Amino acid sequence: MHTPLIAGNWKMNKAIEEAVNLVREMRPGLNEVPGVDKVLCPPFTALAAVKELLEPTTIKLGAQNMYWEEKGAYTGEISPLMLKDLCQYVILGHSEQRQYFGETDDRVNKKIKAALAHSLIPIVCVGENLAQNEAGQTEAVVGGQVRGCLAGLSAEQVRGLIIAYEPLWAIGTGRPATGVGANAVIGQTIRGTIGDLYDKATAQTVRVQYGGSVNPKNVAEFMSQVEIDGALVGGASLKAADFVEIVRISAQVKEASS
């Protein structure tokens, strides 16, 4: 039984003052929930301000992306050196980065290695689109992403990762996967591929989240599944009451099933 990890991905939302107000609103509720790792991932511009608010709490901080080089002539990019003193986690390979900005498994792989080299914990996103899902290609696509993203990593490195299964057809659509369906993909395809690449123990050690239209009404369905170790939450993480409730329900469900 893993400690569940609930991460809120704010995406391109909340200027600094708005971010501060949102954290102040959700901080008391989040901080009092035990048995769950809680991570907030605001935009780069709000990281420093949010960091100050989270330091006396049990809530951790994550970035939404990064480049793999430490420094240099890469205008507009953020390096692991710039993040490591601000946050503990970094989201890599999110579907929106893949869809809109040409992110590839090879680039994600480089970012993972750079993050780990600087003691940042990657939340590595994988998932198929609607056409691939309907064509029965989920296993091939998601398994291929796992292989590409983890290329050249040791079993020890992989054990320190978080993987987020985010089917593209479920993100921001209000059409989440079913708990049973997500559990099957995570158990058979994601953990199965890791087991093939490394060993069964490594596959079972990695924490795997589900992401895609998670909200207080459906989170229990996902967290009751044996293979699902948390959630990467988008829109609902921008509402303090909803995100706190998601964390509370997750803690209750996992405690009941332990």
Question: Tokens 């792989």 belong to which residue?
Answer: 109
CA-wise closest residue to 166 among 192, 134, 129: 129
Sign of the dihedral defined by the CA atoms of residues 167, 205, 97, 20, in that order: positive
Cα–Cα distance between 219 and 127 in angstroms, integer?
A: 19
Cα–Cα distance between 68 and 111 in angstroms, integer?
A: 5
| One-letter amino acid for residue 117 of the chain | A
- CB contact at 8 A, 188 and 139: yes
Of the residues 103, 128, 166, 227, only one is catalytic, namely 166
Of the residues 94, 103, 221, 227, only one is catalytic, namely 94
Whether residue 118 lies in the annotated active site = no
Cα–Cα distance between 222 and 214 in angstroms, integer?
A: 9
**Residues annotated as catalytic (active site), given as ranges:** 94, 166
